[in-house]
């Protein structure tokens, strides 16, 4: 399992170098609700694991059963979309944890985990974790509280991390595209209609009334051929500029659709994972309660 994944030394599940120290768990949000004795009990079961940069910790749909808590380094969580493309779900830093879903339900991995840096982590097997929860129901309740806290954090991150599609489009636009947007915006406004109407009326008035009343020949007599030439030139220039702006609006719509897809995918994954975690914890507590009733 480990030789092809850059793990040094080989430490799958329980085979480890050393146990975690309880004080290390104090700074990890997942274990902050536990008291000192509970943290000591969990720390005694956790083992050290290390992964080199670029190593695959586990792959999507692989058999799970081990929780990892990051002591140092970063881990990238990703899934493979329906089109085969890689979608990064999250990048975890020291103090964060991953793999807890398969720890609770014993199913396959819902994401792939890759070390983006050299990673030091502590691992906890499913058998040890569930045994601890059966012995101490308060640990299970604290874990549920930690998962609820993580759900709130994920929801908040989703709200803050969703980029504004208009801002994304503005960052990508060129000077020519900004000019095209400005021309299209002005050409489709009442200001343009009033301005252009005023120019036409002034042009016609000058060539039909003012110049003739002064006894001079108009520079563009009826049927205003010069004016028609200017209007044709303006239409020839304005039409492609407006089409350029419409193409930019299409690009904005595509960006908005891509962002909506990414947000919906991330939200769906997180919600599904959290629902399964809570369901599994509830089942464990109910089983423990039935066992006590039977005894």
The pLDDT, as a whole number, for residue 181 is: 77
The pLDDT, as a whole number, for residue 73 is: 92
The pLDDT, as a whole number, for residue 114 is: 92
For residue 112, report the phi and psi dihedrals to the nearest 5 degrees.
-100, 145
Q: Which of 294, 48, 286, 254 is nearest to 144 (CA)?
A: 286
Alpha carbons 132 and 138: distance in angstroms, whole number: 10
Domain extent listing, the chain? 3-161, 165-265
HSE of 171, CA atoms in CB hemisphere, 13 A: 7
Q: Which of 36, 45, 22, 52 is nearest to 123 (CA)?
A: 45
C-alpha distances (whole Å) from 185 to each of 167, 189, 252, 256 are 18, 7, 16, 21
Q: Which of 5, 2, 4, 36 is nearest to 21 (CA)?
A: 36
The pLDDT, as a whole number, for residue 83 is: 58
CATH (residue range 3-161): 2.60.120.10
Alpha carbons 281 and 197: distance in angstroms, whole number: 73
In a structure prediction context, what are the per-residue pLDDT tens digits for the chain, which is 295 residues long?
Answer: 333 334 333 333 333 444 566 776 776 766 666 777 777 877 888 888 899 999 989 988 888 788 888 888 999 988 776 556 677 778 888 878 888 777 766 777 878 899 999 999 888 888 887 777 777 676 667 666 766 666 666 566 555 555 565 665 666 667 777 777 777 788 778 888 898 889 888 888 888 887 767 677 778 788 888 888 888 888 888 788 778 777 777 777 776 777 777 677 767 766 776 676 677 677 767 776 776 666 6
DSSP 76: E
């Amino acid at each position: 399992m480990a030789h092809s994944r850059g793990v040094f030394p080989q430490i799958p599940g329980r085979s480890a170098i050393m146990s975690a120290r309880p004080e290390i768990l104090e700074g990890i949000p997942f274990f902050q609700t536990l008291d000192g004795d509970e943290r000591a009990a969990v720390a005694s079961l956790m083992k050290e694991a290390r992964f080199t940069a670029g190593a695959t910790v586990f792959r999507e749909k692989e058999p799970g059963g081990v929780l990892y808590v990051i002591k140092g380094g970063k881990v990238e969580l990703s899934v493979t979309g329906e089109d085969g493309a890689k979608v990064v779900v999250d990048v975890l830093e020291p103090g964060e944890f991953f793999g807890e879903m398969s720890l609770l339900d014993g199913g396959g991995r819902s994401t792939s985990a890759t070390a983006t840096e050299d990673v030091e982590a502590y691992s906890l097997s499913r058998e040890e974790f569930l045994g601890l929860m059966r012995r101490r129901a308060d640990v299970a309740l604290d874990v549920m509280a930690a998962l609820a806290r993580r759900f709130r954090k994920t929801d908040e991150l989703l709200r803050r991390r969703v980029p504004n599609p208009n801002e994304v489009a503005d960052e990508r636009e060129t000077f020519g595209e900004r000019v095209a947007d400005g021309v299209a915006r002005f050409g489709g406004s009442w200001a343009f209609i009033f301005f252009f109407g005023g120019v036409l009326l002034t042009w016609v008035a000058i060539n039909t009334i003012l110049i003739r009343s002064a006894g001079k020949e108009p520079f563009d007599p009826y049927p205003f051929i010069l004016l028609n030439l200017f209007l044709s030139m303006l239409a020839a220039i304005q039409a492609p500029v407006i089409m350029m702006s419409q193409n930019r609006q299409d690009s904005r719509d595509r960006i908005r659709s891509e962002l909506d897809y990414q947000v919906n995918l991330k939200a769906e994954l997180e919600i599904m994972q959290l629902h399964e975690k809570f369901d599994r914890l509830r089942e464990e507590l109910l089983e423990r309660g039935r066992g006590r009733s039977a005894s």
